[in-house]
Copies of this chain bind each other. A is one copy, B any other.
Amino acid sequence: MKRWTLYTSPASCSLATHIALHEAGADFDLVKLDFGARQQQSADFLAINPKGRVPALATDDGVLTETPALLAFIAQRFPQARLAPDNDAFAFARMQEFNSYLASTVHVAHAHKRRGARWADDAAAIEAMRAKVPQTMTACATVIEARLVGPWVLGEHYSVADGYLFTIASWFEGDGVDVKPFPRIVAHRERVGARPAVKRAIAEAGG
Which residues 46-92 in A have Cβ within 8 Å of B in the complex?
50-51, 59, 61-62, 64-70, 72-73, 76-77, 89-90, 92
In the bound complex, residues from chain B placing their C-beta under 8 Å from that of A143 are 50-51
A104-B104, A119-B132, A128-B125 known; A64 vs B50 contact (CB < 8 Å): no
Count copies of this chain in the complex. Answer: 2
Q: Known contacts A90-B64, A143-B50; is A100 also within 8 Å of B97 by CB?
A: no
A119–B124 contact, CB under 8 A? no
Q: Which chain B residues border A51 with CB–CB below 8 Å? A: 101, 105, 143
Query: Chain A interface mostly helix, strand, loop or mixed?
Result: helix
Contacts of A66 in B (CB 8 A): 96-97, 100-101, 104
If A109-B119, A112-B119 touch, does A64 touch B93 (CB 8 Å cutoff)?
Answer: yes
The reply to whether B119 and A122 form a contact with Cβ atoms under 8 Å apart is no
Residue of B50, B100, B119, B132 touching A146 (CB-CB under 8 A): B50
- The answer, yes or no, to whether A136 is at the interface (CB within 8 Å) is yes
Judge whether A107 is part of the interface by a CB distance below 8 angstroms. Answer: yes
Q: Does any Cβ of B come within 8 Å of A33's Cβ? A: no
Residue of B nearest to A65 (CB): B97
Contact between chains at B118 and A122 (CB < 8 Å): no
Q: For the complex, what is the distance from the CA of A136 to the CA of B105, rounded to whole Å?
A: 18
In the complex, A31 has a CB within 8 A of chain B: no
User: Is B125 in contact with A129, judged by CB distance below 8 angstroms?
Assistant: yes
Which residues of the partner chain B approach A119 to less than 8 Å between Cβ atoms?
A: 109, 112, 119, 129, 132, 136
Question: What are 11 A-B contacts defined by CB distance under 8 Å?
Answer: A50-B143, A62-B90, A69-B97, A69-B99, A69-B100, A77-B89, A100-B104, A103-B103, A108-B108, A121-B131, A121-B132
